[in-house]
Every structure is written in C-alpha cells, then in structure tokens.
Structure 1
Amino acid sequence: MDAQATAPPATDAASYLDLGITLALNNWPSLTLAVQSNWGGPTSDDKRAWLCGAISEMLTDRPETDAEDVEDVLIQVMNDEFDVVIDDESAGNVAVQIMEFKEQTDAGQFSAIREMWETWQRKSEQKSAASSMFKQVESRDEDQETDDEASDDDVDMGDAPALVRAPREKAEPEIDEDGFTKVVGKKR
C-alpha cells in the first residue's frame, strides 16, 4: 500500500470511507497481482491510487451508486488499465465490501475499517521484518561464499572436455519400382 494507507488512521466519516476503499482495493488479489506485475505499466501503483480516488468520488458525487455500479467500474478499469479480464466474482465481492463500508461510515460506525487497518499494519510489519531477515541471511550467505572461495581445499578440475556428438548417417531415400520415394518415420 502506498502513502494513502500508511497515513495515520482517519478521523471523520469521509476519511474512514477513503481508507476503507483503499484497504479493500489493496487487499484484492487480482488488482494486487496486476500492480506487482506492472500489467498497467510502470505507473500501475499510481493507477490503483487513482482508482481508489475515483471510487470515493463516485460515491460522493452520485449517492445512488450501488454495488453493481462499483463492480462495473472495477471490471472496466481492470480491463482498460491493466489488460486483465475479471471473470470470477472477486470484483463483485470487493464492490459489496466497499458499499458496506459506505453504509457503516454513513452511520458513524468505523470499527470494521479500524480492524482492517490494524490487520494491514500487522501484515506490513511482518513483511518488513521478514524482508529484513531475508536480506540478513542473503548477506551472510554472500560472506560465506567469499570465505569458501578463498579456501585452499578446492581442487582445480581444469576445463571440462567439450561434448562431441558423432554425426548421424543419413539414410538414402528408398525409391520403389513406380518411382515413388518411401517415407520413413523416425525411430523412437
């Protein structure tokens, strides 16, 4: 998630709704894969951020918007911006979740979005910790390789001989009494 989701938690209904939309879209596996794979080009992450804002704006400007409208936008943007055809029900599920967040924030209920935010924060911390551990292990492995290379126990095997294959004999074509060439299949 980018700067929008790493910002401090929201304080009013509109901010909570924006946070909920951002969390829902960042947790959508189809969009996450498209962004990570740069299927939308080098600005894939910016396109996701734009989509978050576009849905928020749509919900604000058009109060009659329902889950089907949001789903249509999600499917269209995935197709147009990321060249991904969504043929499972995931876009519908994300749209329903976003509309639930809208209903909750309109009623002043922010607990579901807060919980989702806290879960996201824990996952981000775990990923960060795992990433730094991986870098430490990778660094240690590189140090060991240089120590191993300096070891005198290595035996120089010289250059391996090139593999040479003897040329196959090409079979002469068989011609029958009518002048036709017999087709022979490959032996297996």
Structure 2
Amino acid sequence: MPIPTTGDAAPDFQLKDQNGNDVKLSRLRGKNVVLYFYPKDDTSGCTREACDFRDEHSALEAAGAVVLGVSPDDTKSHMKFATKYSLPFPLLADTERKVCDAYGVWGEKSLYGRKFLGVTRATFVIDKEGKVAHVWPKVKVDGHVQEILQTLKGSAPGAVAAVKKTVTKKVAAVKKVVAAAKKTVAKKTVARRK
C-alpha cells in the first residue's frame, strides 16, 4: 500500500497495547494523534526515539496530541520495553503487520547491502477529524519530536522561515517609509529656516 498523504483519511485500526487494552483510532476523534512506526523494541534508534517521545510527552499532550507507537513486536515485548524506559504512552502490537501495510511502512529495506523486509521509521500526525495532517515518511531520530511539536503548534520550521522572511520585508518597507518621512521633515525644516 502507498503511504497516506496529507488530506487523506487516516486508515482506521484496532490493536492491543502493552497492557492488553484495545486501542481504536476512530475512538480518538476530537484529538490530534501522533502515530509513529518504528522497527523493533529495545534497539538503539528505536529506544532513542521512544525516549524522546517520553521526554516531550507532557509538551505533546499540552499541544493536544495523543502519542501511539506501533511496531510488529508483540504485547509482551512492548510491556518489557515500556517498563524498562518508563514510556507513558501506548505501544501497539501490529504482529500481523496489517496497520504497517495500511500506512505503507512495511516493505523491503536494505542494510549494509543486505535486503530484508521490515518497518520504515515513519510518523503521521492525524487531525481531530481523522485526516492525515502531516507525514514524515523517513524519520531521522535526532530532532524529530521537536519537528512534531512545531507542527502541532502550527509553526513548522518552513513556516517559521516564511514568516520571518515576510516580517523582514515588512520591516524594511516600514524603514523606507520612515526614512522618506524624515527626509521630507528635514527638507521642510531647512525651507522654514531660509
């Protein structure tokens, strides 16, 4: 399956979390959902990513988001991983990889020239209406959670740069007007003195 893109309806699903509870995406309507896919519990990159989500969990909640982690590991593996690192959010067991397939993150990967099937690290922000609001199809762990927070707060890095550019242009325009006004005032003052 292709990766859902911005504006698509997010594929619904129901999976068990590390505590054996059913988590159904459509039951989370009215909240923003950060749905992140990762390859395997307790591996270096996946642990760093999970701990980043843990460390920023209160900020993500304050931004109105629910965090859900998904991998093909089973609930027992998820429980061990979540307990070891005190993860405060659900880790969903997609052992049959149906959700990974629905989100287009299961497929051929390559590592050191060896090809194998696995999960591509990807994150989706799903809005309150259940639509995909933002996609990171190939996540680099470092700084990723900060990007998500900026997106949730409506200030994605690109948007911030665009706003700064606009403000800089407006400030320059105002400075020109002020400079022109000062020149006019100076000319009138000189004219009066004569």
Structure number with the bigger relative contact order (C-alpha 8 A, sep ≥ 6) is 2
- Relative to total residues, which structure has the larger strand share, 1 or 2? 2
TM-score using structure 1 length = 0.31
Q: Which has the larger radius of gyration?
A: 1
State TM-score, norm by structure 2.
0.30
